[in-house]
Amino acid sequence: KGVDSSTESAEAACDILSQLVNCSLKTLGLISTARPSFMELPKSHFISALTVVFVNSKSLSSLKIDDTPVDDPSLKVLVANNSDTLKLLKMSSCPHVSPAGILCVADQCHGLRELALNYHLLSDELLIALSSEKHVHLEHLRIDVVSENPGQQFHSIKKSSWDAMVRHSPKFNLVMYFFLYEDEFGPFFREEIPVTHLYFGRSVSKDVLGRVGMNCPRLVELVVCANGLRPLDEELIRIAERCKHLSAIGLGECEVSCSAFVEFVKMCGRRLSQLSIMEEVLIPDHKYGLDEIHWEVSKHLGRVWFPDMMPTW
């Protein structure tokens, strides 16, 4: 009979974990190349195997359990046995964990420096817990904002909660990946947010990019896959004006006039260490054509620069 090898290997991984009775692990990363194979296992099988590791490892510092059926009770076991040592926790796409479950981790694991999770687990209470006096400075917070079904409603986070985070951990990186439909951005970028690295994996509107320019003063890197076909001239200029730390930008299917693009580069100057845009989306105008633009941009960057070319295959 046909066997799904990815599920088979996930089962084998669980069997191995179950046998680690006398091992105290410092690092555990569960990586499935054929995702989400751990999600296809019986939940009880996975949880019991993971619990063996949590109970026997008294000094676990790094745990990567993305795309797994980990749940709140198993996180409590993790905390009970490893709260003093846990520094990194990656758990994007763990649908059985609740906001209360991750809050329990933040409340007890005061050495946590890096955390990755889905937006539905993010709460004001979590940010306040990560900002408490007992907690070390957070270095890296990654949030995946993913739409499971079109028209999904998303909660908003208070500006005061983000402000508390910045006061407590002034140098932390806030990395956000958005995979939303255009009508789902309602609660986002309405107020200032300390995001440093921002990736839009689906089409995003001019309006949302305008709000990014107004409310993301710590922005270092911006990647926009697409925005429909309305030129982003004003939005780019606003981002250059207000995002004083921006050093990397990638624009996919986003139309920009050549003049606005040159002005954007001129305003950012040599701090733009990464600049990527397809030649096909640059719109020639009365000031610059495609032939002149690479000279102008190169001049302001202080290095030779060319737009990307669309593959011809």
Position 126 scores a pLDDT of: 98
Question: Nearest 10 degrees: CA dihedral of 193, 259, 275, 191?
Answer: 0
Position 1 scores a pLDDT of: 25
Separation of alpha carbons 209 and 240, rounded Å: 12
Please name the fold of domain 25-44+57-301: 3.80.10
The pTM of the full predicted model, rounded to 2 decimals, is 0.90
List of the chain residues with pLDDT < 70: 1-7, 21-22, 31-36, 310-313
Position 4 scores a pLDDT of: 47
Segment 87-145, tens digit of pLDDT:
999 999 999 999 999 999 999 999 999 999 999 999 999 999 999 999 999 999 999 99
**Contact between 69 and 38 (Cβ < 8 Å):** yes
Give φ, ψ of 139 to 5 degrees. Answer: -105, -35
**Contact between 249 and 272 (Cβ < 8 Å):** yes
Q: Domain locations in the chain?
A: 25-44+57-301
**Contact between 198 and 216 (Cβ < 8 Å):** yes
